[in-house]
Each structure stands twice: as C-alpha cells, then as structure tokens.
C-alpha cells in the first residue's frame, strides 16, 4: 500500500482553492497539504465558523482528496524571526498590525495556537511549519557567536514555543518543523540541538525536505536514519547544484532562476537529489506518512510540473520488504 501523495498548496495560493482542487485530483494527487494563506484556509474564519471548515472538507471530498496536513510556514516563522519588511509581505494584516516586532511575534504565536485548534476541528493530525530564528544572521558570517549566545538563542525559542506546543498537545496535533536554512535548525546537527532543547517532547518532530540538504552537501538518507522516529512529514522537492566556477552556493541576493546562483530548485526528479536513497531510507525506517510535493522550478510551467511530479512520486514510491 503506497503512501498518500499530497500536493502542498502553498505554491498555488494565488489561485482559489476551488479551482486548484479539480486540477490536483486530475493530476493524480490523493490529498492536500493546505496552505494557511490565500483563500486555501483562512485561520480566523475557520476558527470562528464551523461551516467554513465543513465546506472545505466537502470541497475536497467531492474531488476525492483528503486534507492531510496544514502548512503554516508563513505565520509560524514570524514567531521567533527578527521581524523586518520581508514579513509584511507574508503575514495577514491582523498579524502584521503596525509591524512593531514584539507585537508581530506575539500575534503570530497566538495565531499558531489557533492553527492547532483549527487542525483539530478539521481532523488533521499534522501541522507543518517553522519557528523563525533570532540567530540566523550569525550563521556562516563573522564574527561568530559564542556558545553562550547560541544557548541563549535556543533558550528564547524554546520558551516562546513551549506554550504553543502545549496547545498542540492538547489538540492532539503534531507540529512538523521543517529543517531549513534561515531557521534555527538547518542541518543534521542543529536539528539534534533543537530536539534536545525541546527535551524530545512528543508533539515536536520534523518535516523533512531533501532539497535543502543537497547544496549543503548532506546525505538525505543520513538524516532520515538519524531521526527515524521524529520524521512526521515529508516534502518532495528537488534541487540542482549549478556551479560553474563563477556562481556560488550562497544565493541570498539572487532570485530563483537567476544564473548567478550556484543552485536552483527543481521539479522532483529533474534535479540532483538521490531519490533512490531517499525512498530506501524511508522504507527502512518504516515512515508511512504522506509524501507532499512542494513544487518549485523556475524553468517549468507550474501545472505541467505539478502533474509530472505526482507521476514521478508514484513511480518512485516502491513497496518495501515486509
């Protein structure tokens, strides 16, 4: 019995969900990881209005799609990020407010508690997202931060998120934190630090996305084996290292597709991720959750790619030895 293949709706949140569901179904997806932005899932309406939730579930059911995961990347990153103009573009007005950093962070934290409650109402067991990071500017730069500064930064994140995760626990929902550059945990060892800092509490696990490991030079299979029991969700996204002597791996200033970048996102199967190693590691560690396509590719038509990706994952996901 193969794993359910989901489409993460974030990259399509500019389109009405009503339009997207028909396509997702045609393309072959079994369900959705619903973005908590655009009209895909408006958290305040969902919290206030049970009919709203039911209507969403009905819409999906009509297209034989399950609502398997909520993707709350935008608001969750605002909880601990150093807030600046970048966040205005990704937050709802009522969270951004006047943009004063402390207020933004507090409202984002409250919103995440609401997300957990909405998930419970929708019968969704997993929310994917970020924590934000107060210490990303220290990464790879100079002067480096002292161990004490790192410890203090971690502590601040833990203190902020513990009460949020308590709500998740109470709602019976798991938080699947994506290990991602820009976040506190961006590689195998920082993920371990975070897991330790949260004392391995049950509600907290990872969204695993191999594309972020490729250009960092980390083997995705090592990550999967290392955190087997804590992989709560999986993103299927590919990337390609496109070094040519002039481009470099640090790409902050250059937008997706710009040839000055040393790597690019790619539609799954069109890049350099070792998918065979990826699926074998998931099979060995008995991961049986969904495989959710988080589609990004600067060179490919989005609809073409979303269908191509679904078929790719169907071919990839072979049956493990029982």
Tokens of 302: 């989005």
Residue numbers 25-54 binding its own copies by CB under 8 A? none
Cβ proximity to its own copies: between 66 and 242 the closer is: 242
* Among positions 155, 159, 276, 288, the unique one binding its own copies when judged by CB under 8 A: 276
Contact 76, 131 (CB under 8 A): yes
- Asked if residues 68 and 124 have their Cβ atoms less than 8 Å apart, the reply is yes
Contact status, residue 95 vs residue 107, Cβ threshold 8 Å: yes
Number of residues in contact with its own copies under rule CB under 8 A: 81
Least distance (Å) between residue 165 CB and its own copies: 22
Looking at residues 64 to 83 of the shown chain, list those that interact with its own copies (rule: CB under 8 A). 77, 82
55 binds its own copies (CB under 8 A): no
Which of the residues 227 through 246 are near its own copies (CB under 8 A)?
A: 240-241, 243-246
Please give the backbone phi and psi of residue 273, each rounded to the nearest 5 degrees, phi first. Answer: -60, 140
For its own copies, the binding residues in 148-167 under the rule CB under 8 A are: 149-150
Q: Distance between CA atoms of 262 and 248, rounded to whole angstroms? A: 5
- Secondary structure string (H, E, C) spanning 23-87: HHHHHCCCEEEEECCCCCCCHHHHHHCHHHHHHHHHHHHHCCCEEEEEECHHHHHCCCCCCCHHH
115 neighbors 44 (Cβ within 8 angstroms): no
* 8 Å CB contact between 22 and 7: no
User: From the CB of 308, what's the least distance to its own copies, in Å?
Assistant: 7
CA distance 7 to 306: 8
| 290-309 residues near its own copies, rule: CB under 8 A | 297-302, 304-305, 308
129 close to 76: Cβ distance less than 8 angstroms: yes
Work out which of 85, 93, 199, 286 binds its own copies, going by CB under 8 A.
Answer: 85
Cβ closest to its own copies, residue 31 vs residue 153: 153
Smallest gap from Cβ 230 to its own copies, in A, equals 16
Among 48, 61, 162, 249, binds its own copies (CB under 8 A): 249
Nearest to 232 by CA among 195, 275, 273: 195
Per CB under 8 A, which region of 4-12, 20-28, 63-71, 257-265 contacts its own copies? 257-265
Nearer to its own copies, 94 or 304 (CB): 304
Residue from 19, 48, 248, 288 that binds its own copies (CB under 8 A)?
248
Residue 203-232 contact track with its own copies, rule CB under 8 A, x = bound: ----------x-xxxxx-xx--xx------
- The reply to whether 254 sits near its own copies by the rule CB under 8 A is yes
Alpha carbon distance 213, 206 (integer Å): 14
Q: What is the distance between the alpha carbons of residues 166 and 266, in angstroms, rounded to a whole number?
A: 37
Among 89, 93, 98, 199, binds its own copies (CB under 8 A): 89
Which 92-151 positions form the footprint of its own copies (CB under 8 A)? 133, 135-147, 149-150
Using CB under 8 A, pick the residue from 14, 51, 102, 253 that binds its own copies. Answer: 253
Q: Point out which span in 30-38, 48-56, 100-108, 278-286 binds its own copies (CB under 8 A).
A: 278-286
Sequence-distant (6+) residues with CB within 8 A of 148 are: none
Q: Verify binding: residue 86, its own copies, rule CB under 8 A.
A: yes
> Do residues 315 and 25 make contact, with C-beta atoms less than 8 angstroms apart?
no
């Amino acid at each position: 019995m193969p794993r359910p293949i989901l489409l993460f709706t974030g990259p399509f949140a500019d389109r009405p969900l009503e339009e997207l569901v028909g396509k997702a179904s045609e393309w072959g997806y079994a369900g959705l990881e619903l973005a908590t932005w655009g009209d895909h899932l408006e958290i305040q309406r969902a919290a206030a209005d049970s009919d709203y939730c039911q209507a969403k579930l009905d819409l999906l059911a009509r297209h034989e799609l399950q609502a398997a995961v909520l993707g709350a990347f935008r608001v969750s990153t605002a909880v601990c990020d150093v807030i600046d103009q970048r966040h205005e573009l990704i937050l709802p007005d009522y969270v951004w407010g006047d943009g004063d950093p402390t207020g933004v962070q507090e409202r984002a934290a409250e919103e995440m508690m609401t997300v957990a409650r909405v998930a419970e109402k929708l019968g969704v067991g997993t929310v994917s997202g970020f924590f934000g990071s107060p210490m990303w500017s220290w990464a790879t730069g100079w002067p480096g931060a002292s161990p004490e500064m790192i410890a203090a930064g971690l502590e601040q994140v833990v203190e902020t998120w513990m009460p949020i995760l308590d709500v998740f626990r109470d709602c019976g929902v798991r938080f699947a934190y994506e290990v991602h550059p820009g976040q506190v945990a961006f590689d195998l060892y920082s993920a371990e630090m975070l897991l330790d800092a949260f004392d391995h509490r049950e509600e907290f696990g990872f969204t695993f996305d191999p594309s972020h490991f490729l250009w960092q030079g980390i083997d995705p299979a090592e990550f999967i084996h290392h955190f087997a029991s804590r992989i709560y969700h999986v993103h299927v996204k590919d990337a390609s290292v496109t070094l040519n002597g002039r481009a470099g791996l640090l790409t902050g200033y250059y937008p997706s597709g710009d040839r000055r970048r040393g790597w690019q996102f790619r539609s799954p199967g069109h890049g350099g991720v070792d998918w065979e190693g990826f699926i074998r590691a998931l099979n060995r560690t008995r991961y049986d959750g969904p495989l959710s396509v988080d589609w990004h590719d600067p060179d490919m038509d989005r609809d073409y790619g979303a269908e191509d990706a679904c078929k790719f994952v169907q071919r990839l996901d072979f049956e493990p030895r029982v």
